[in-house]
């Protein structure tokens, strides 16, 4: 299945379309960029396989999806330090290098879809932790991810299976 994301209203509102429907989504505060760099706040242009789903089992039922699903643990993190050998990989906290905490007090990471951005191979500095996740209630831009309201994300995941990919279109094209 193919999912397409396009910019709807600069800099951070987008539209996500797939054969099962269409939803408003939130994009990175840096807009959409073809030359993604660590820390630029941009959502990268490209086609990204959906690798797996992580979720907070203490808050939600297991998401219905054909993708592999794993619960998030309180010590889970994701390395975002380009100088670290674990860059753009999951890590266990505490971790010495800079990293995202996946177990958060807010609900943004209650469901995380790991996208195949900069992972085959990983190139230091080209961006890490680019996920699809739950949007903030106020619709605030992300740090480069694609975010949807929880119910929309759960609905989309029902149609996802191995081989599903998300394509972020270049607004300049």
* Residues annotated as catalytic (active site), given as ranges: 133, 145
Angle at 166 between CA 73 and CA 41, to 5 degrees: 70
Element (H, E) at 115: strand 111-115
Check: CB of residue 97 under 8 Å from CB of residue 86.
yes
Q: Omega of the bond prior to 48 within 30 degrees of 0, cis?
A: no
Check: CB of residue 104 under 8 Å from CB of residue 58.
no
């Amino acid at each position: 299945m193919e999912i397409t994301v396009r910019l709807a209203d600069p800099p951070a509102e987008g539209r996500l379309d797939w054969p099962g429907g269409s939803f408003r989504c939130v994009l990175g505060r840096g807009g959409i960029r073809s030359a993604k760099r660590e820390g630029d706040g941009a959502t990268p242009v490209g086609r990204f396989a959906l690798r797996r789903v992580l979720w907070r089992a203490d808050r939600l039922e297991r998401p219905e999806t054909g993708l592999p699903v794993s619960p998030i643990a309180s010590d889970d993190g994701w390395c975002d330090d380009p100088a670290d050998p674990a860059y753009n990989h999951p890590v266990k906290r505490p971790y010495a290098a800079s990293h995202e905490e996946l177990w958060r007090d807010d609900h943004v990471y209650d469901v995380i879809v790991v996208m195949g951005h900069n992972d085959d191979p990983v190139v230091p500095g080209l961006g890490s932790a680019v996920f699809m996740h739950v949007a903030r209630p106020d619709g605030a831009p992300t740090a480069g991810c694609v975010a949807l309201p929880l119910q929309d994300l759960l609905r989309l995941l029902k149609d996802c299976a191995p081989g599903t990919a998300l394509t972020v279109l270049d607004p300049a094209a």
